Amino acid sequence: MTTALPQPLRNTRVLSLALNLPGPAALMRCARLGADCTKLEPPPPLGYPSADPMGIYSPVAYATLHSGVRVLHAHLKTPEGQAALHEELARTDVLITSFRPSALTKLGLGWEALQAQYPRLSLVRIVGAAAERAEEPGHDLTYLADAGLVTGTEMPPTLYADMGGALMASEAVLQALLERGHTGGGVCIEVALADAAAWLAQPRDWGLTTPEGDVGGNHAGYRIYPCADGRVAVAALEPHFAASLCAAAGLPASGDPQVLRARPTHEAVAGFLRTQTRAQLDGLAKAQDIPLHTLA
């Protein structure tokens, strides 16, 4: 069995004008899929390593995102910058942007103009929100809030909408190339970060992760519990895993969801885990094949 990853984007040229996180993360995914990736960004301001905000506030992230990517510099509002841009576009299969639609039009990069000049070129247009809301300002946090994924006043542990949007954008690159294979022409695909947040929110919308849902805390085998010297994330959802957990806790070995949802089961499992150290629980997981992960 080969360990090399497939390279479905080999011999494909992807050009990105997108700054910050979603666009560069999408380009990084394309590079890992074998694409020849180029990013065109403004020249760095005096004293700064990059004009991309990510290169200023997180050089480590910027370096990771641009590994294997050719970075060029040009002012797109100048004739010289436009010449550099169109030199790249003439040999590009997919263009990724993250400007608002009105800004793209001002730069001569509206879809109609691109399609007329480069009929085989596809555009993956990353926006904050879709369609008529594409001109609204926003960031990852506001899109998560709009999708109902912000609770209390604590910040989310990662940038879900940005990274989810990056995956959707790299998927859109593949979609565009597959469609061109059928029609011979390029397509424009809009990827909205708000839609990425809404996609991630669907398990909650279906009730799976609400307090009444089995993966939201209602099932004793799928919860985070305190243990003797930290915490333990238990994911014994399937009946055979749940039965092993019940047996370890001194209960009848049952995988019946109704039993696992009952308060006495919750109390017994919580009481057992509270007496166990992380080392003991790690040993239990290995010996009894119970999916759990201990935390400080």
Per-residue pLDDT tens digits for 222-240: 999 999 999 999 999 999 9
**Nearest CA to 159 among 175, 148, 171, 143?**
143
Question: Residue 114, Cβ neighbours under 10 Å: how many?
Answer: 19
* pLDDT tens, the chain, 296 aa long: 667 888 999 999 999 999 999 999 999 999 999 999 999 999 999 999 899 999 999 999 999 999 999 999 999 999 999 999 999 999 999 999 999 999 999 999 999 999 999 999 999 999 999 999 999 999 999 999 999 999 999 999 999 999 999 999 999 999 999 999 999 999 999 999 999 999 999 999 999 999 999 999 999 999 999 999 999 999 999 999 999 999 999 999 999 999 999 999 999 999 999 999 999 999 999 999 999 999 99
Residue 161 CB partners (closer than 8 Å, separation 6+): 140, 143, 144, 147, 193, 194, 196, 197, 200
Give the residue among 145, 124, 143 at the shortest CA–CA distance from 133: 143
Quote the CA–CA distance of 178 and 125 in Å, as a whole number: 17
**Reduced DSSP (H G I as helix, E B as strand, rest coil) percent helix, strand, coil of the chain, to 5:** 45, 15, 40
Give dist(CA 54, CA 18) in Å, integer.
11
pLDDT in tens, 255-290: 999 999 999 999 999 999 999 999 999 999 999 999
The per-residue DSSP string of 252-291 comes to: -----HHHHHSHHHHHHHHHHHHT--HHHHHHHHHHHT--
CB distance 254 to 246 below 8 Å: yes
DSSP string, 189-230: EEEEHHHHHHHHHHHHHTTSSSTTSIIIIISTTEEEEEETTE
